[in-house]
Structure 1
Amino acid sequence: MSNDLIKEEQKEPVVYKAKIEEKKSISFVWILPLIVLGILGWIAYESYMKKGTNITVVFKSAEGLKENVTPLEYKGLQLGKVTKISMHEDLKSVKVNILVNNDVARYVASEGSDFWIKKPTVSLTKVSGLNTLISGYKIELSPKFKTQEEYAKGAYKSYFEGLDSQPNDEFDDNGYYISLIANDKSNIEVGTPIFYNKFQIGEITAKEFVFEKVYFTAYIYDKFNYLVNKSSKFVINEALKVKYGASGLNIELGSLYSALVGGVTVVTPNKDAQKISKDEVCLLYGKEDDLKNKEYFNISFSDVNGIEENTPIIFKGIEIGKILEVNLNKNILNTKAFVYEEYKYLLTNKTKFFVEEPTISFDGVKNLGNIVKGNFISLEYKKGDFSNNFIAINKKDLNKISSSVKVELLSESLNSISEKSKVYYKNIEIGRVDSYVLTPDLKNVKITIFIDDKYKDLINDHNLFYDMSSKLVEMKSLNLNVNYSGIEPLLNGAIGLIAEKRSDEKLTKKEFKLYSSFKDVERLKRFYNSGFTIEADFDNSFEIKQDMAIVYKNQEIGFVKDIKFDDKKSKVNLFIYSPYKKYITDKSRFFKQGIVNFKASLSGVIFEVDNFSSLIDGSIHLDNSSTTTLSKYQIFASEDEMNKAINSVTIVFDDVEGLQENFSQLTYKGVNVGKVKKISLNEKQKVEVQALIYDDYSSFTKEGTVYYLKKPRISLQEIANAGSTVMAVNIGVIKSESLNRQTKFVGLETQPSVEKSQFGTVFKVEDLTASSVNVDAPVYYKNVQIGKVSKIDLSEDGSKVVVDCLIYDKYTKLIRKNSEFYDISGFEMKFSIFSGSKIESNTFTSLLKGGLVVVTPYEYGEIANPKDKFTLVKTLREDWKSISPSIK
């Protein structure tokens, strides 16, 4: 072993000194559990505090309620939530368990609390609770206690009976609430509006059924309180009103609003009456009729059908009362009735009551109420002493009482005459048929009629009676006879009277003959008239019949007495009544009016029938418009043929495509002044158009008058003569001021360029080349259109383009000799490095169609005339808008 090793073994061992550190009293490891423990304790405390108090509310139905969803609220503040819904022990209702928050439990679980289910309200007048459509219904708290002291004195309660609707305690203490009780209807719901003069002043806020009666709470808005007081009457609006009148049944629907919403109307006769107190109950009437005072009386009927309760009593078209009760005593029908207080004066001992029956005519159904509901009662009033007991009479007996003249008629057949038949004079009812019997020899029928007293002066020995309903259509010897005076005479029969009021004539005849038709009487009447006869010719191209009426200005002035036929030209004798002799002159002409006059245009189709006579045979019309003296009287086939004989012009065209006979019109300033009657080719293969001038013939037959074809033209500015694209092409007319007369003209294909027309003055603007301006392009002055381009053509030498600018009359003074015309067609684009690009266009029309602008300088010259020529400037000067001279 070496010495080094021995020395190391002999060394002493090394002992290190321990390091002393100060130890902490609490370790961080223990703090974390304490924090967690504290949080858990707080959660437990909060959970305990918020666990709440359970209460039970019993409702009749749990419709709309959901467990753990439906909230308990008070004025929008959530107080708790439904936790359980179960069946009640009585099996008729449901128990709803509600967990109430602890912080409000002392207010909710109290004997002063009521609960009701809040449902959504959607109507034409009110929308509320719409959030319940998503979350379901809500349960609302209605507390009776209002102060902390009341709650402190109140007892704890956890079991409640729920209310059916919002309680009255929920209403504003200062609000104007009125209690109503229904009279005989209950079709009013919460939210129904209350109206005054059709303006809403409140609404129904609550509805309750107590002791088999329906009670309502009405709230009147504050600003309308003055409209409702103790004098007010409340009545339910009737969406559907049924009224009976002399014109029949009237069914009136107030409005769609009333039909859907309903409503209550307030009637306040005295605005100064006292307010209605909360403890007062007002009657809610079911209809307006209940508000009126009534006078009750009795009516007995011996022979009647269709009378029952609520049968109306009508006087002069106004419903004045109704039948209330009906009792049958053997063969007598006893009724109790009423009339409104204001009609009490009608109940006199001379008043006669009777039953009205329905009447059907072409004018409509009279007394429609009879058909739908039954007969109604009417009356004939006469002054007398008051009475409340009446015996009704038959209306036929009433008619006898009001009639004073009895007349008997003899007829070969009764035809459609019945006891319902009436007697008419000029289509006015003057009497009626009473009875009819066979004569002793059984060959004729004797008909007894009564004429009303006020028409007695019409009856004398010269009367003619005819059957208005014997035959609707009769054909004899190819002669058609239509007997039409309305559907009522056809259904019930009727008798017509032809008479003149003669005060000096008396009725001495015992019987009159009843003629079978008006035509028989008319022929007889004509021969009774005095007059004179004239002879006229006609060319056999049309038919004239004996007895055909002669008419002047819609008045019959005579008839065709007889006809002398000849195979070349026939003659006819016209009988003219004496009073009309002065209208027959040496300038008189006659024409036959056709059965139907047909006219067609884009506006529609017109069928004209002159009168009843012309519907059967036509008629002969007198015309006195001619200024030419005639050597003899002549009858033309039509009015056009008559006018064509004198009032016609001839126009020659190269081509008349679209022109049609009898359809193409001659128009001047948009008015039809004539029409095309005939189109034909002449020997030069030109088209000759013969046109008829209606009126003012001389003004359209002057030398220089221009006739041109008005062919269709469609542009951005107008659609001209569009009718000719569907119907016939028309001919335009430009009048001449010449004094020379001319009847043959050369027609033009288009409207000519003239210096002066009925539309304005034409100014010519020249340009070296054609621009973008087209026909009908607008001409502007300060952005106001003052005319248009009427024509574009080459000058006579072909060196320039000539633009005709038609300036309307009211603007011609703006065109001066030094005015300038600028082209604004299309658009102009300017480009500059410094100012950028600029695109200009005056109007959309000028962009597509072209247009011109007129600029007149401040120092304007004389008024231009059509012979002045202007040069078209292609670029519009920049300051044109600022140039604004005052031109006088």
Structure 2
Amino acid sequence: MSKDLIKEDELKDVVYQPKIEDKKSVSFIWILPLIILGILGWIAYESYMKKGTKITVVFKSAEGLKENVTPLEYKGLQLGKVTKISMHEDLKSVKVNILVDNDVAKYVASESSEFWIKKPTVSLTKVSGLNTLISGYKIELSPKFKTQEEYNQGTFKNYFEGLDSQPNDELDDNGYYISLIANDKSNIEVGTPIFYNKFQIGEITAKEFIFEKVYFTAYIYDKFNYLVNKSSKFVINEALKVKYGASGLNIELGSLYSALVGGVTVVTPDKNEKKISKEEVYVLYGKEDDLKNKEYFTINFADVNGIEEGTPIIYKGIEVGEILEVTLNKNNLNTKAYVYDEYKYLLTKNTKFFVEEPTISLDGVKNLGNIVKGNFISLDFRKGDFSNSFNAINKKDLDKIGNTIKVELLSENLNSISEKSKVYYKNIEIGRVDNYALTPDLKNVKISLLIDDKYKDLINNNSLFYDMSSKLVEMKSLNLNVNYSGIEPLLNGAIGLVANKKDEKLIKNEFKLYSSYKDVERLKRFYNSGFTIEADFDNSFEIKQDMAIVYKNQEIGFVKDIKFDDKKSKVSLFIYSNYKKFITDKSRFFKQGIVNFKASLSGVIFEVDNFSSLIDGSIHLDNSSNVDFANYKIYSNEDEMNNSTNSITIVFDDVEGVQENFSQLTYKGVNVGKVKKISLNENQKVEVQALIYDDYSSFAKEGTVYYLKKPRISLQEIANAGSTVMAVNIGVIKSESLNRQTKFVGLENQPSVEKSQFGTVFKVEDVTASSVNVDAPVYYKNVQIGKVSKIDLSEDGSKVVVDCLIYDKYTKLIRKNSEFYDISGFEMKFSIFSGTKVESNTFTSLLKGGLVVVTPYEYGEIANPKDKFTLVKTLREDWKSISPSIK
């Protein structure tokens, strides 16, 4: 049997045991549908819950609202969303459907809810709601209920009327809120700041219009609550205050912030009063003036222009009240006015009201304020019983009612006098012209004046009146008369008063009106008591009768009489008694001309005397002389008078460049006199007559040196350059002599002296002239201690003598064994082995030359001007190392 058959039989006999396993009763596959079913149920629940509650709000406009975009919010928390916007049945408004989340529906769909549209707010005071610029407008919820209990008791509501603006209920319950009502037109808006003493303490939070009245809600910041109470008053800020007063137009501008945003100011007179409750309503005044208590009265005007509501009432430049109402009747103008309580005392039966009008002239503008605004009301206050009804008068009539005295003038001609003309005393207004008329014989004009009572003592029997305006310039017989007292008298005419003998009483009331002040001045002089002195003059100039005599710009007399003689004339001078003490034996006189004019390249002299002398000139008194005079004399001018006592004579060979009146005498750079006259004498020398200004005796001494300060111009130096185009001056070197001398011989150049006002002169000798020039510097250790003042030959001509002027502070450095070295130009040394060497001290010494002083360590006694020094050409090599301490 084959092997395959055996294996097959074996296989048929094998029996396998079955494997038994336990199986679960429920399969996992059935759990999955249950999970899905649960998820679907949750989604259905969530969908139902999020479906929300629908409400409808009616607004006047849906501007800025968008479906499925615009949210409903409360304090930043989103409560729902706008789902539909449609037209309302009344066709005047829109319906906005809002889907409110169910979890807050209880609070939204309630009778306590109010809705308003929140828009962006951008102003100068605050910025809010800027996020709405991006996301669009929002609808805000404003609930009235504040507790859960109120909501539980409230009823469901889903239809609402939207508000136009944020309601007051949005305000914080704990805040300090005040209700205000405007009593005037106002530009106050929500956000307007509230100020106390110009510091912000709160703001306007709400504005409502109820029964044609504007109501505001003001919020005061917590830390400033104590500043506002029942005594407080509220007034709108006036950014621009315009006042019209007697002084003109007054414009006051507040801060820029107030000018732009406005504001409300709080005034609290009593800090201890109680706080204000929100239910109380306070008046918001339109201007600060409304806070003041007023007294009301009436004024009737018979004939007036420019009076209207708001016309101010001004007393002594202060606004005391205002015209409130104006009513035009058939015969007059009736007005209702007020004054502040503090000025109530002005309302008396004797008080007169009148209208002030603007006055324009070349002298200026009066009452500028009413040029812009119109006329204003002024008043003349007189004590009396209280009155609240007045009849206004013309201002001109006021002068007649007031305390005045009447004076009448007679004139040949009215000239420029008018009813606007005023009366002046020393340019002060003391009265005015009341009226004028022809006299009964028709030959003269009678002018009536009203003089204020307080000036009545100025009027007496010797009073003189003159026309200030009739003739501006008058020339008669080559005699110029100028009459000028200002622009006002020229335009409106004016009358001047000259008061005399105030102790006399007023008996007459009629005076003559003179045509000019000059006529009055001549009469006035004879009212003065005084005495007469005689004086001589040489006929080289003219003196006129009535010329004023002046001392220190004060008229002390006049020329009373002239006795002419062909050789020497005599003048009678009348001196007023008050000035007798100024006439002494040392007195002398000179004529002050009308105009003194001299000119040259050196300058211009232009002198004009005072106004009285501008017509005729004047005679001036001088008491500056120390010399007694036997007789009084009048000189042609001041210089001639001074020349008679304060002049010297200097004789020169040549005075080229010296000019009369412009060449000065100079001492240490100060002008001490001037050249008055240049002439040739019998020896063909030039005599210069010079005037010494002050301290004459110190310059008129024996030994005083006068020399010409001529210009020096060269490559090396420039000195006295001004004299090349200006007048050449004369230098002075004082003398210590006590002997007096008035005539001197002048030198062409500055002389060589041992001692001058600048220092001490030391003489340095040299065999030949060096490169040193006049004014070349003298150095000590490279510090200039002096200069070369003169270079000349010795008396025998064998040597050159250089005068070295050493300044006073350095003279102690010059010792008897000091050495003077010439450092002028430069020195060149040439050597094949060492090369070329060029040495120069300074640029100045290169051009002008110069000297160096070297004092050895073992220095000798202090040198004196009589010591002689020899100039050394080459500077010793060790000069820099020589440095003694000289005491």
- Taking structure 1 as the reference length, what is the TM-score of the superposition? 0.64
Distance 1:637 1:620 in 2: 10
Amino acid at match of 1:587: K
Amino acid at match of 2:553: N
Call closer, same or farther: CA 1:200–1:705 in 2, change over 3 Å.
Answer: farther
Amino acid at match of 1:411: S
Residues 665 and 732 of structure 2 are in contact (CA less than 8 Å); yes or no, is this contact kept in structure 1? no
Aligned to 2:178: 178
2:279 maps to 1:279: yes
Distance 1:675 1:82 in 2: 106
**Deviations along 1:685-714, whole A, 9 cap, x unmatched?**
999998866555567778889999999xxx
Distance 2:83 2:458 in 1: 95
Residues 119 and 138 of structure 1 are in contact (CA less than 8 Å); yes or no, is this contact kept in structure 2? no
How far off its partner does 1:514 sit? 1.1
Amino acid at match of 1:620: I
Structure 1 vs Structure 2: percent identity of aligned residues? 71
Residues 413 and 444 of structure 1 are in contact (CA less than 8 Å); yes or no, is this contact kept in structure 2? yes
Query: Quick check: 699-708 or 490-499, which moved more?
Result: 699-708
Distance 2:68 2:788 in 1: 91
Distance 2:740 2:135 in 1: 95
Residues 410 and 447 of structure 2 are in contact (CA less than 8 Å); yes or no, is this contact kept in structure 1? yes
Match of 1:396, SS state, is: helix
Aligned to 2:118: 116
Distance 1:570 1:76 in 2: 114
Aligned to 1:346: 346
Q: Describe how 1:526-541 pairs up with structure 2 within 5 A.
A: 526-536=525-535
Match of 1:612, SS state, is: coil
Aligned to 1:518: 517
Call closer, same or farther: CA 1:581–1:198 in 2, change over 3 Å.
Answer: same
Q: Describe how 1:471-490 pairs up with structure 2 within 5 A.
A: 471-490=471-490
Call closer, same or farther: CA 1:287–1:367 in 2, change over 3 Å.
Answer: same
Aligned to 2:332: 332
Amino acid at match of 1:525: K
How far off its partner does 1:344 sit? 1.4
**Deviations along 1:170-219, whole A, 9 cap, x unmatched?**
66655444333333232334554433333444444555555544444444
Amino acid at match of 2:355: V
Residues 406 and 448 of structure 1 are in contact (CA less than 8 Å); yes or no, is this contact kept in structure 2? yes
Query: Quick check: 262-271 or 242-251, which moved more?
Result: 242-251
Amino acid at match of 1:118: P
How far off its partner does 1:675 sit? 6.9
How far off its partner does 1:518 sit? 1.1
How far off its partner does 1:341 sit? 1.0
**Deviations along 1:82-112, whole A, 9 cap, x unmatched?**
9999999999999999999999999999956
Aligned residues: 720
Distance 1:144 1:725 in 2: 99
Residues 120 and 130 of structure 2 are in contact (CA less than 8 Å); yes or no, is this contact kept in structure 1? no
**Deviations along 1:371-403, whole A, 9 cap, x unmatched?**
333333322323222222222333333322334
Query: Quick check: 562-571 or 655-664, which moved more?
Result: 655-664
How far off its partner does 1:658 sit? 13
How far off its partner does 1:231 sit? 1.3
How far off its partner does 1:660 sit? 11
Distance 2:731 2:170 in 1: 82
Aligned to 1:291: 291
How far off its partner does 1:413 sit? 0.8
Call closer, same or farther: CA 1:548–1:388 in 2, change over 3 Å.
Answer: same
Residues 192 and 264 of structure 1 are in contact (CA less than 8 Å); yes or no, is this contact kept in structure 2? yes
Aligned to 2:395: 395
Distance 1:106 1:792 in 2: 113
Distance 1:736 1:636 in 2: 32
2:298 maps to 1:264: no
Match of 1:371, SS state, is: helix
Q: Describe how 1:75-154 pairs up with structure 2 within 5 A.
A: 111=113, 114-122=116-124, 128=127, 139=137, 144=142
RMSD of the alignment, in Å? 6.3
Match of 1:586, SS state, is: coil
**Deviations along 1:795-828, whole A, 9 cap, x unmatched?**
99999x9997989xxxxxxxxxxxxxxxxxxxxx
Call closer, same or farther: CA 1:795–1:280 in 2, change over 3 Å.
Answer: farther
Distance 1:667 1:239 in 2: 68
Query: Quick check: 314-323 or 451-460, which moved more?
Result: 451-460
**Deviations along 1:331-355, whole A, 9 cap, x unmatched?**
2332222111112122222222233
Q: Describe how 1:801-812 pairs up with structure 2 within 5 A.
A: none
Please list every run of 5 or more consecutive structure 1 residues that lacks an aligned counterpart in the other structure: 1-43, 712-720, 756-764, 776-789, 808-863, 877-888
**Deviations along 1:593-635, whole A, 9 cap, x unmatched?**
45579999xxxx9999764323444433222222233344444
Residues 468 and 483 of structure 1 are in contact (CA less than 8 Å); yes or no, is this contact kept in structure 2? yes
Call closer, same or farther: CA 1:264–1:732 in 2, change over 3 Å.
Answer: farther
Residues 121 and 130 of structure 2 are in contact (CA less than 8 Å); yes or no, is this contact kept in structure 1? no
Please list every run of 5 or more consecutive structure 2 residues that lacks an aligned counterpart in the other structure: 1-42, 712-719, 761-776, 792-799, 811-861, 866-877
Query: Quick check: 444-453 or 653-662, which moved more?
Result: 653-662
Match of 2:186, SS state, is: coil
Amino acid at match of 1:512: F
**Deviations along 1:746-782, whole A, 9 cap, x unmatched?**
8989x98559xxxxxxxxx997763xx7x8xxxxxxx
Query: Quick check: 656-665 or 273-282, which moved more?
Result: 656-665
Aligned to 1:759: none
Distance 1:659 1:78 in 2: 105
Amino acid at match of 1:280: E
Call closer, same or farther: CA 1:435–1:97 in 2, change over 3 Å.
Answer: same
Distance 2:468 2:645 in 1: 44
Query: Quick check: 608-617 or 676-685, which moved more?
Result: 676-685
How far off its partner does 1:497 sit? 2.0
Residues 674 and 691 of structure 1 are in contact (CA less than 8 Å); yes or no, is this contact kept in structure 2? no
Distance 2:196 2:598 in 1: 56
Call closer, same or farther: CA 1:794–1:344 in 2, change over 3 Å.
Answer: closer
Match of 2:250, SS state, is: strand
**Deviations along 1:219-271, whole A, 9 cap, x unmatched?**
43444332222211222232333334333443334455554454332221111
Q: Describe how 1:221-620 pairs up with structure 2 within 5 A.
A: 221-254=221-254, 258-360=258-360, 364-403=364-403, 405-500=405-500, 502-507=502-507, 509=508, 511-536=510-535, 544-562=543-561, 572-593=571-592, 611-620=610-619
Distance 1:172 1:583 in 2: 91
Call closer, same or farther: CA 1:608–1:316 in 2, change over 3 Å.
Answer: farther
Match of 1:415, SS state, is: coil
Distance 2:443 2:261 in 1: 70
Residues 541 and 636 of structure 2 are in contact (CA less than 8 Å); yes or no, is this contact kept in structure 1? yes
Call closer, same or farther: CA 1:569–1:221 in 2, change over 3 Å.
Answer: farther
Q: Describe how 1:624-643 pairs up with structure 2 within 5 A.
A: 624-636=623-635, 639=638, 642-643=641-642
Residues 73 and 139 of structure 1 are in contact (CA less than 8 Å); yes or no, is this contact kept in structure 2? no
Query: Quick check: 418-427 or 186-195, which moved more?
Result: 186-195
Residues 70 and 136 of structure 1 are in contact (CA less than 8 Å); yes or no, is this contact kept in structure 2? no
Residues 120 and 132 of structure 1 are in contact (CA less than 8 Å); yes or no, is this contact kept in structure 2? no
Distance 1:542 1:491 in 2: 39
Distance 2:117 2:182 in 1: 26
Call closer, same or farther: CA 1:275–1:701 in 2, change over 3 Å.
Answer: farther
Residues 665 and 675 of structure 2 are in contact (CA less than 8 Å); yes or no, is this contact kept in structure 1? no
Aligned to 1:622: 621
Residues 419 and 435 of structure 1 are in contact (CA less than 8 Å); yes or no, is this contact kept in structure 2? yes
Call closer, same or farther: CA 1:93–1:526 in 2, change over 3 Å.
Answer: farther
Call closer, same or farther: CA 1:679–1:610 in 2, change over 3 Å.
Answer: closer
Amino acid at match of 2:486: G
Match of 1:524, SS state, is: helix
Amino acid at match of 2:558: F
Residues 403 and 452 of structure 1 are in contact (CA less than 8 Å); yes or no, is this contact kept in structure 2? yes
Call closer, same or farther: CA 1:175–1:676 in 2, change over 3 Å.
Answer: farther
Residues 759 and 805 of structure 2 are in contact (CA less than 8 Å); yes or no, is this contact kept in structure 1? no
How far off its partner does 1:533 sit? 3.6
How far off its partner does 1:515 sit? 0.9
